[in-house]
């Protein structure tokens, strides 16, 4: 496989995963892999799949929703802390509708070949929850100070992305415990949610912090012809308060 500037070799590392969505490398070279239907697996260096990691919260596996991104805390080797995003059921008695993009922290524990999550804590819930199965985002980017940037989709509703009273179509900035950094751009705006870092986005599904700047890739669907659908990645620099 070739691009304009590099040549790539594609190899199958593991098979048998259902809708794998994100991965994070563990210090020993194994991988944590999320499956959108709501399972978290550990993939060994030789491609063997673990049984599903125990202890995940309920996941709304509807449409594009499910278990989404995963990232290791900077001090994972000591703390065993991980972060993950998922479509959370917000309906009565655990119903999957309505739902929202949520983020959680947890401690990954392994004992006698069994992996489980402990101390699971929801550190962000997208407000408000909406029914449907489109545009959940979502990626996690961890800043040098350990704070988290979390991208959310606008749930295919478009206009809420411009509404500062809603978390839809935003880049969210929170501390590792879910509290709000005091230098967030809308902290003192009574007509805005203080966790918002940037707004007006559609469905950001890629994010990275590079050279101290916050950047994201916004995947935007276009329809060149009625019978076909093509999706093009678009790179955009994310600026606080915009």
Residues labelled catalytic: 135
Residue 230's nearest CA partner among 240, 216, 220 is 220
Read off the tokens for 230.
Answer: 């093509």
- The answer to whether 41 and 33 are in contact (CB under 8 A) is yes
Alpha carbons 214 and 170: distance in angstroms, whole number: 13
CA angle 54, 55, 59 (to 5 degrees): 105
Cα-based distances in Å from 3 to 9, 14, 52, 124, 237: 11, 24, 35, 37, 23
Name the β-bridge partners of 23: 33
Measured in Å, how far apart are the chain's first and last C-alpha atoms? 37
Residue 168's nearest CA partner among 187, 180, 177, 155 is 155
- By DSSP bridging, strand 213-225 and strand 39-43 are unpaired
**Element (DSSP H or E) covering residue 79:** helix 76-79
Cα 147 to chain center, whole Å?
14
């Amino acid at each position: 496989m070739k691009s304009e500037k590099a040549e790539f070799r594609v190899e199958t590392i593991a098979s048998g995963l259902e809708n794998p969505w994100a991965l994070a490398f563990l210090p020993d070279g194994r991988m944590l892999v999320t499956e959108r239907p709501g399972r978290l697996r550990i993939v060994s260096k030789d491609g063997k799949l673990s049984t599903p990691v125990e202890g995940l919260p309920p996941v709304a596996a509807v449409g594009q929703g499910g278990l989404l991104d995963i990232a290791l805390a900077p001090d994972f080797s000591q703390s065993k802390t991980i972060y993950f995003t998922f479509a959370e059921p917000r309906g009565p008695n655990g119903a999957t509708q309505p739902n929202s993009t949520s983020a959680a922290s947890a401690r990954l524990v392994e004992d006698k070949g069994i992996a489980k999550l402990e101390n699971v804590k929801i550190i962000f819930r997208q407000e408000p929850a909406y029914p449907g199965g489109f545009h959940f985002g979502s990626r996690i980017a961890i800043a040098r100070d350990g704070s988290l940037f979390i991208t959310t989709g606008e749930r295919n509703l478009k206009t809420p992305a411009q509404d500062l009273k809603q978390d839809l179509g935003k880049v969210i900035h929170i501390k590792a415990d879910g509290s709000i950094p005091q230098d967030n751009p809308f902290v003192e705006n009574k007509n805005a949610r203080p966790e918002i870092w940037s707004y007006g986005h559609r469905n950001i599904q890629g994010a990275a912090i590079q050279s101290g700047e916050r950047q994201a890739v916004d995947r935007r669907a276009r329809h060149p012809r009625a019978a076909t659908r093509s999706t093009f990645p678009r790179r955009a620099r994310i600026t606080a308060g915009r």
